[in-house]
Structure 1
Amino acid sequence: EALRLAGPDLRDEVRMRARLRAALRELRLAESVLLENALASLLGGERRELTDLQAERPPALDGLSRQAMDQRVSRGRRALTRAKQGWPQRRRPALFDLLRRPNAASL
């Protein structure tokens, strides 16, 4: 209800954030975490230092060098400007994908 009463600028911002978050869910975990951090200002968050982010998200970023993380951010930003087929995709479905399937309730 509040969104309906909000101005068009706020509605556009919320839609953009939702599309961006949906796009991030389609990426591999490391790219998703790194790009979410790089685009934090667009998502209404605060950008973290990569070393802090790595400590907070070890399953996603453990073992990656600073150079590797910078490179993934750069490649990921370029990829998101292309068609979805050019995005770095996951090798297997994530838990999120499995739960949003129509028959997930029977799992």
Structure 2
Amino acid sequence: MFKYCFISDPVTLRLSTERGPVEGRVEVYHSGEWGNVCDDNFGVPDATVVCRQLGYLDPKSWFINKGKFWLDGLACRGTESKVQDCTHLQWGSNNCQLSEQVGVDCSE
């Protein structure tokens, strides 16, 4: 099950999950390919932006999953409307292990 947020620029965000629509691994569609967000520096402000971009309230929690990475070093202030507006390393540049995929549990 996926929760999609289609936006006007070429970046799409979704939660990949089997638990329900508000919780799952954070995936970003960029340059024609889905990838993950690394947990390096990921915290409450980052999870807040993810949840809000998907149309949810603030996050209840965030967690780590596994997979390919598009974003690393995500550093949101929490006020951004989209994750691509947050500071991050260059798209696809990362030093992440498969055990570092991040996920969120958003409030409806």
Q: TM-score surpassing 0.5?
A: no
Higher helix proportion (structure 1 or 2) = 1
The answer to which structure, 1 or 2, has the higher relative contact order (CA under 8 A, 6+ apart) is 2
Mark the structure with the bigger radius of gyration.
1
When normalised by structure 2's length, the TM-score is 0.34
When normalised by structure 1's length, the TM-score is 0.34
Higher strand proportion (structure 1 or 2) = 2
